[in-house]
Amino acid sequence: MSTTQSDRLRGLLEPLVAAKGLDLEEIETSKAGKRRMLRIIVDSDEGVELDACAELSREVSDLLDETDAMGEDEYVLEVSSPGADRPLTEHRHYLRATGRLVKFQTSDGGELIARILDVDDEGMDLEVPGVKGRKATARRIAFTDIAKARVEIEFNRKDKKEEEA
């Protein structure tokens, strides 16, 4: 998708998405056979429910039908929330990941897996899990020291409420 079309779609859709209390995370188009696929990724601090995606999809479809933003060719519209393993790139992504285990690739080429405890404007306070019976350790990382970050999926983590019971 050309930058001009992407910018135009973002300008058209962002007010509609924001009116629903959501953040427009990503717009991407790709080929799906003879048709094009328009994928819109939205999120919020509370997450996004399926019903909200369906409602937004109908409204986006109506809005796109009223304009020529997608041209004359057929396209398939998909509105969804980001996957659990999406990259963390914005400050708000780190805030939303507080309490989660994250795999960081540092700008010096290192790798770190740690739980986000707190996020501020400069970086994060982390808890690095202990290995082989050792206690967890605290660590601070600045945003400028992060090359990539992605939430690690935890299948066996107990919720704090369960631990306290």
Confidence at residue 45, expressed as pLDDT on a 0 to 100 scale: 84
Q: Which helix (H) or strand (E) holds 51?
A: helix 50-66
**Residues 42-50: contacts with CB under 8 Å, at least 24 apart:** 42/17, 42/79, 42/80, 42/81, 43/81, 43/82, 43/96, 45/92, 45/95, 45/96, 47/81, 48/22, 48/80, 48/81
Confidence at residue 140, expressed as pLDDT on a 0 to 100 scale: 96
- Give the residue carrying structure tokens 């808890």: 127
Burial 109-136 (b: 16+ CB within 10 A, else e): eeebebbbeebeeebbbbeeeeeeeeee
Confidence at residue 40, expressed as pLDDT on a 0 to 100 scale: 93
- Report residue 33 as tokens: 């056979």
* DSSP tag of 145: G
> For each successive 10 residues of the chain (165 residues), what is the average pLDDT?
73 93 90 84 88 93 87 86 86 92 94 95 94 89 95 73 43
Decide if 36 contacts 74 (C-beta within 8 A): yes
* DSSP tag of 31: E
